C-alpha cells in the first residue's frame, strides 16, 4: 500500500527567542529578516515547493506579527496600487496568496514535543511534516521534498540529520543508527537504533545531529502524551520519537544542502551574507563592498 500523502506542515513558533535578545523582546524571532524575507517564510516556501498545501503555525504570546505577515494587508495593497508600484504589490500579494495557513496557540513554551502536540487537532489522523524555521536550509531539491521521498519509500517517519563537530553535538538531538543502502548510496539513509536529546559530548552515540525537518506519522501524538519532561525540563520531540521507536521503525536522512542556524547570531549573519551574495539585485554591489573591507 502506498504511504499516505503528506499534506500538512507544522511550524512550532511559540519559543521565546532568548538566543536573539534584545531583537526578540517585542518581535518574534521567526520574523527576523534574512535579507528581506522573514526567517519563517523561507520554511513556508520550502514546504510549498515540496508539495505541501497546508501550514499550521503553533504560536504563542507576542507572535501576532506572524499572522499579519501571512494575511492580506488591504491598506498596504491599496497604497501600492494607487502609487502604481506593481512589483511591490506582487511581492506583498505573493505572501498572502502563498498557501493555506492556520494557527493554534501554545499558551506556555513547554517544549518542542508539547508544541507539536498542540497541532494534533488540526493535523488529524494523517502523516505530516514538522519544520523548525530557525533551520534555514538551502538546497537544490527542497529538504522536505528529500525527506518525503524517503518517507514514501519506507512508509515510516523520517528525520533530517547532518554530521556536526563532536563538540557541538550537545546542542542537538543525536541519533544512534545503522546505515541502510538506498538507491545505490550507502551512507545517506539510516535506520535509527536510539536517539537522545542534547547528550553530553562524552555520552553521544554519534555525531549525527537532528536538524529541524521531520516527516511524522500521527502515532507520534500518543507517544508525546506519554513522555515526561526531559532535557531543559521540556517535553521533547526526541523523547517521544524514542518512545515511538519501540513500536515502529524510524529512519534518518542525511539531506543534501546547506543549513544555517538562523536562530543563532553567527548563523544568522552567515545566512544573511550568503543569501545576499546570491541575489541578482544585490549580489554584485555587495560582493564589491565586501572585497573592500579591511579584515
Ligand atoms: C530542537 C530539537 C533538537 C534538534 C534541533 C535542531 O532543539 O529539540 O533535537 O537537534 O532543534 O535545530 P532546539 O534547537 O529547539 O533546542
Set of cell numbers at residue 75: 491598506
The CB density around residue 206, as the number of other CB atoms within 10 Å, is 19
Separation of CA 173 and ligand 1 centre (Å): 6
**pLDDT of the residue at 262:** 95
E strand intervals along 2-127: 8-13, 33-34, 37-38, 54-59, 100-105
Point out the ligand 1 atom lying closest to the alpha carbon of residue 135. 12
Residue that has been written with the C-alpha cell 507539536 in this structure? 116
Closest ligand 1 atom to Cα of 210: 10
**Lookup: cell for 66:** 506572524
Is residue 253 left, alpha or beta, with left meaning phi > 0 and alpha meaning psi from -120 to 50? beta
pLDDT given for residue 261 in this prediction: 96
Q: Which domains does the chain have, with CATH numbers?
A: 8-290 (3.90.550.10)
pTM (2 decimals)?
Answer: 0.94
Q: CB atoms < 10 A from the CB of 248, how many?
A: 11
C-alpha 8/C-alpha 126 separation (Å) is: 9
Could you tell me the distance, in angstroms and rounded to a whole number, from the CA of residue 135 to the centre of ligand 1? 9
Q: How far is CA 250 from CA 154, 158, 184, 239, in A?
A: 9, 6, 20, 13
Q: Among 114, 159, 212, 224, which residue has the most ligand 1 atoms within 8 Å of its CB, making it the best to mutate?
A: 212
Predicted local distance difference test score (pLDDT) of residue 283: 97
Ligand 1 centroid–CA 33 distance in Å is: 21
Q: Which among 193, 179, 191, 176 is positioned nearest to 246, based on CA atoms?
A: 193
Pocket test for ligand 1, best of 14, 113, 134, 173 (most atoms within 8 A of CB): 173
The predicted pLDDT at position 143 comes to 98
Residue carrying C-alpha cell 495593497: 77
Tens-digit pLDDT string for the chain (295 aa): 788 999 999 999 988 888 899 999 889 999 999 999 999 999 999 999 999 989 999 998 777 899 888 888 888 888 888 999 888 888 877 777 777 899 999 988 899 999 999 999 999 999 999 999 999 999 999 999 999 999 999 999 999 999 999 999 999 999 999 999 988 888 999 999 999 999 999 999 999 999 999 999 999 999 999 999 999 999 999 999 999 999 999 999 999 999 999 999 999 999 999 999 999 999 999 999 999 999 8
* 112, 230, 240: residue to mutate for ligand 1 pocket, most atoms within 8 A of CB: 112
pLDDT value of residue 16: 81
Tell how far the Cα of 172 is from the centroid of ligand 1, in angstroms.
5
> In the structure grid, which three cell numbers stand for residue 233, read together?
525540563
Pocket of ligand 1 (CB under 6 A): 112, 132, 135, 172-173, 197, 209-212, 236-238
Amino acid at each position: 500500500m502506498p504511504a499516505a500523502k503528506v499534506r500538512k506542515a507544522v511550524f512550532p513558533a511559540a519559543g521565546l527567542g532568548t538566543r536573539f535578545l534584545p531583537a526578540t523582546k517585542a518581535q518574534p524571532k521567526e520574523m527576523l529578516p534574512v535579507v528581506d524575507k522573514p526567517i519563517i517564510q523561507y520554511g513556508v516556501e520550502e514546504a510549498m515547493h515540496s508539495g505541501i498545501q497546508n501550514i499550521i503555525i503553533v504560536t504563542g504570546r507576542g507572535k501576532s506579527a506572524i499572522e499579519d505577515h501571512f494575511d492580506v494587508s488591504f491598506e498596504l495593497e491599496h497604497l501600492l496600487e494607487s502609487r502604481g508600484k506593481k512589483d511591490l504589490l506582487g511581492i506583498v500579494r505573493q505572501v498572502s496568496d502563498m498557501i493555506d495557513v492556520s494557527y493554534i496557540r501554545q499558551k506556555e513554551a513547554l517544549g518542542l514535543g508539547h508544541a507539536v502536540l498542540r497541532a494534533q487537532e488540526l493535523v488529524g489522523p494523517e502523516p505530516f511534516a514538522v519544520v523548525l524555521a530557525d533551520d534555514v536550509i538551502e538546497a537544490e531539491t527542497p529538504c522536505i521534498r528529500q525527506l518525503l521521498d524517503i518517507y514514501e519509500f519506507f512508509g515510516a517517519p523520517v528525520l533530517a540529520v547532518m554530521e556536526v563537530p563532536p563538540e557541538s553535538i550537545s546542542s542537538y538531538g543525536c541519533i544512534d543508527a545503522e546505515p541502510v543502502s538506498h538507491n545505490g548510496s550507502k551512507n545517506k539513509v539510516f535506520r535509527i537504533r536510539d536517539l537522545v536529546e542534547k547528550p553530553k559530548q562524552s555520552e553521544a552515540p554519534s555525531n549525527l545531529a537532528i536538524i529541524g525537518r521531520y516527516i511524522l506519522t500521527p502515532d507520534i501524538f500518543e507517544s508525546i502524551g506519554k513522555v515526561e519532561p526531559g532535557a531543559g525540563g521540556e517535553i521533547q520531540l526526541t523523547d517521544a520519537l524514542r518512545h515511538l521507536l519501540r513500536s515502529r521503525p524510524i529512519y534518518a536522512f542525511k539531506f543534501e544542502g546547506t543549513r544555517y542556524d538562523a536562530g543563532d547570531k553567527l548563523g544568522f549573519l552567515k545566512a544573511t551574507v550568503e543569501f545576499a551574495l546570491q541575489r541578482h539585485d544585490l549580489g554584485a554591489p555587495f560582493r564589491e563592498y565586501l572585497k573592500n573591507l579591511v579584515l
